[in-house]
A and B are shown apart, each in its own frame.
Chain A
Amino acid sequence: SQELEQSPQSLIVQEGKNLTINCTSSKTLYGLYWYKQKYGEGLIFLMMLQKGGEEKSHEKITAKLDEKKQQSSLHITASQPSHAGIYLCGADLYGNKLVFGAGTILRVKS
Chain B
Amino acid sequence: NAGVTQTPKFQVLKTGQSMTLQCAQDMNHNSMYWYRQDPGMGLRLIYYSASEGTTDKGEVPNGYNVSRLNKREFSLRLESAAPSQTSVYFCASYHGLIRGGELFFGEGSRLTVL
Tell me the A residues contacting B by CB distance below 8 Å.
1, 6, 30-31, 33, 35, 42-43, 45, 48, 50, 86, 88, 90, 92, 95-103, 105
**A53-B55 Cα distance, complex, nearest whole Å:** 33
Looking at chain A's contact residues, the main secondary structure is: strand
**A94-B92 Cα distance, complex, nearest whole Å:** 17
- Find chain B residues with CB under 8 A from A95 CB: 50, 56
Interface flags, B25-57, vs A, CB<8A=1, else 0: 000001101010000111111001011000010
Question: Are B94 and A96 closer than 8 Å at their CB atoms?
Answer: yes
List 20 A-B residue pairs with CB atoms under 8 Å apart, sorted by A's residue number: A1-B44, A1-B59, A30-B99, A42-B107, A43-B90, A48-B101, A90-B43, A95-B50, A95-B56, A96-B48, A96-B94, A97-B45, A98-B31, A98-B33, A99-B45, A99-B58, A100-B42, A100-B44, A103-B40, A105-B40
